[in-house]
Structure 1
Amino acid sequence: MTQQLPQLPSIQRVFLESIVSSSDPEGRFVEVNGVQAFYKLVIPASHRQLIQKKQLVPNEPNKPVILLLHQILGNQYTWRHLMQPLADATGCHVIAYDRITFGFTERPTQWEEGKNPYTQEASVEFALQFVNNLGYGEKKIVFVGVSAGAAISCTIAIRYPHLVHSLCLLGPSISPDDQGPPPIGRHILGSAPGRLFLKAALYRYLPLTTLYHDPDSIPDWETVVKPNYRVPLTLPNFYESLSWLMKYFVPLEILPHKRYLAQVPMLYISGDDDKYLHIDKHREIFDDIISVAPSDAKIEFKVIQNCGHLPQDEKPQEVLDSIINFLYRVGI
């Protein structure tokens, strides 16, 4: 009888694991749908103290888990200011992961027919499977999503409302015209010449300063923040996977189902200087949702001053306070 040898891990996995083990010991990996996903999980400080004393962590079955979903060209690093304070204030476990293509998550180079991991539909199912694989499948989820991460959050709320505790949307890109480049742009970026363009442009311009009101106001912008956003540029298959993401990008249908979305407690946050999606457009989208909401809907709109498209980077304390206060009001 021929003995079957165990399958060796891919070179890409070994490389990513070695980088993380030496540079980010708080990070972890979990396999989701055949992809090794990088994530961070924080628990309330009070729970950590109990663990250190070898006491059991209180079982709080009614507490949701908080899941943070980053923007395109972002990674879980964008939530650095929010994770521990959110856990301490709410008593919830808080998780952030690198979506496929970004950060330290594995980037598949081949896949079975019908299981393309680079579609927006796949990103929706990936988020739910990720939570389930970490053992939180029985808990409701508070989604905190920024830009395209908000689109994934809203889609889950529409399709699986029984899984959702509430939504906190930061600079959400949830209308078809605002979810990524226009079709011709996706076609170009998904081609071989487009890949070369991405290499040249992102090496020079990432992170995109147009997404901010004033990046120079962010502490350690040049020395810490910018390098952390640029890490993926050096990792295996980044440009290939980004090109595939653009090639297969089809916007998620959200606003046509706004009546279902309006049933979920929602905090909608916008910067007053969002150059990607103007504040007036955010107000229009919010008004469109609220127009079909029930009279007792828990839906709020918050504008943060002197802030661009990524409030969690520019105004983390205001974002944190707004989210915590909202979650208290809706019964965290």
Structure 2
Amino acid sequence: MSQSLPQLPSIQRVFLESIASSDPEGRFIEVDGILTFYKLVIPQKHQQLLQQNQLIPNEPNKPVILLLHHILGNQYTWRNIMQRLADYTDCNVIAYDRPTFGFTERPTHWEEGKNPYTQEASVDFARQVISALGYEDKKISFVGVSAGGSISCSFAIKYPNLVHSLCLLAPSIMPEDQGPPPIGRHILGSAPGRLFLKAALYRYLPLTSLYHDCNSIPDWETVVKPNYRIPLTLPNFYESLSWLMKHFIPLDILPYKSYLAQLPILYISGDDDKYTHVDKHREIYAEIASVAPPGAKMDFKILSNCGHLPQDESPDEVIRHIVDFLKRVGI
């Protein structure tokens, strides 16, 4: 009786795992058939208990904090705040690379109706990550930047009973008709579009226009910039980015603002956000706040000398505002 040979891992998976092995804090987990790179940090006091082989105290009322990065970013963007968030809140903190980005696998085929590169798929993928890591019985406190902020909001609209709070860093919240025009999505989703993306990103990533002053970030040239550029060298990056652009339709959020207004919301904007002007952020926050019930726990903060990625440029201020807010809303 013949025996079937074990299925070998794909070349892409072998390559990703090999490159990611240089980061000892990262791990892989399979989520809906996609090999997903993530980091999980726990409070330092619990790490000491682990080293002493003691049980970690069960804190059933604590949410898990989930960090969602921006387009063309990855979990590296949270390097300055992950451990501090865990230590200051006594919560476990998770960050992962969304499909297309970082070290997460980039599928080349998918079943009909299960395109992993749509914005809607990103929302359900976040829920699947939480479940795969064993936190399905926990509420989630989201910290999302740019597109990560819009995914956080859409998750809260779809699964309000699973959300503890929203901390939105320069969220990309806009009406659907303000997204990329269909012709633009079609071009970027074509073979010539991929060549354009490859030529442009190889030269310009990370995008300095997203910052107030990227040169103020420690080790920008020697450490930070190379870490953002690593995904450009990984299998199927440009193909998956092209698919993401082709299928990119902004999540429809503001028509459901009354759902968001029921939750604690911290909204942070840089005063020099060149992607979404601070005045537009004010308008979006005011629109959500206008339908909030009496006594709603909402706050809006503007960071000086800061662009579209506050966690990169102003991590100390971001940590201070998030921790103060979460403690105030009862974390």
Q: TM-score range by the shorter chain?
A: over 0.9
Letter in 1 for 2:272: D
SS state at 1:169 partner: strand
Letter in 2 for 1:129: Q
Q: 1:9-20 maps to which residues of 2 (within 5 A)?
A: 9-20=9-20
> Using the alignment, how far apart are the partners of 2:59 and 2:226 within structure 1?
38
Could you say which residue in structure 2 is the equivalent of 1:294?
Answer: 293
Task: Indicate if the aligned counterparts of 1:173 and 1:179 stay in contact, CA closer than 8 A.
Answer: no
SS state at 1:263 partner: coil
Q: 1:224-243 maps to which residues of 2 (within 5 A)?
A: 224-243=223-242
Deviation per CA, 1:35-76, whole angstroms, max 9, x where unpaired?
Answer: 000000100000000010110000111110000000000000
Task: Indicate if the aligned counterparts of 1:178 and 1:277 stay in contact, CA closer than 8 A.
Answer: no
Could you say which residue in structure 1 is the equivalent of 2:210?
Answer: 211
SS state at 2:38 partner: strand
**Which range is displaced more, 247-256 or 322-331?**
247-256
SS state at 2:296 partner: coil
> Using the alignment, how far apart are the partners of 1:185 and 1:82 within structure 2?
35
Task: Indicate if the aligned counterparts of 1:263 and 1:297 stay in contact, CA closer than 8 A.
Answer: yes
Q: 1:198-277 maps to which residues of 2 (within 5 A)?
A: 198-277=197-276
> Using the alignment, how far apart are the partners of 1:246 and 1:52 within structure 2?
45
> Using the alignment, how far apart are the partners of 2:278 and 2:183 within structure 1?
26
Give the length in aligned residue pairs: 331
Letter in 2 for 1:20: A
Distance 1:181 1:227, change over 3 A: farther
Could you say which residue in structure 2 is the equivalent of 1:160?
Answer: 159
> Using the alignment, how far apart are the partners of 2:177 and 2:327 within structure 1?
31
Is 1:54 the equivalent of 2:48?
A: no
Shift of 1:185: 2.3
SS state at 1:107 partner: coil
Task: Indicate if the aligned counterparts of 1:273 and 1:306 stay in contact, CA closer than 8 A.
Answer: yes
Shift of 1:251: 1.4
> Using the alignment, how far apart are the partners of 1:151 and 1:2 within structure 2?
52
Is 1:101 the equivalent of 2:100?
A: yes
SS state at 1:200 partner: helix
Return the TM-score normalized by structure 2: 0.98
Deviation per CA, 1:109-143, whole angstroms, max 9, x where unpaired?
Answer: 11111111111111110000000000000000000
Shift of 1:174: 1.2
SS state at 2:101 partner: coil
Deviation per CA, 1:206-227, whole angstroms, max 9, x where unpaired?
Answer: 0000000010111111111000
Task: Indicate if the aligned counterparts of 1:100 and 1:106 stay in contact, CA closer than 8 A.
Answer: yes
Could you say which residue in structure 2 is the equivalent of 1:81?
Answer: 80
Shift of 1:104: 0.1
Could you say which residue in structure 2 is the equivalent of 1:174?
Answer: 173
Letter in 2 for 1:72: I
Could you say which residue in structure 2 is the equivalent of 1:303?
Answer: 302
Letter in 1 for 2:14: V
Shift of 1:296: 1.4
Identity %: 78
Q: Which runs of 5+ in 1 are unaligned?
A: none
Shift of 1:182: 3.8
Task: Indicate if the aligned counterparts of 2:176 and 2:252 stay in contact, CA closer than 8 A.
Answer: no
Letter in 2 for 1:146: V
> Using the alignment, how far apart are the partners of 1:152 and 1:25 within structure 2?
28
After superposition, the CA RMSD in angstroms is 1.2
Letter in 2 for 1:154: C
> Using the alignment, how far apart are the partners of 2:4 and 2:151 within structure 1?
40
Deviation per CA, 1:181-228, whole angstroms, max 9, x where unpaired?
Answer: 443322221111110000000000000000000101111111110000
Q: Which runs of 5+ in 2 are unaligned?
A: none
Letter in 1 for 2:7: Q
Could you say which residue in structure 2 is the equivalent of 1:37?
Answer: 36
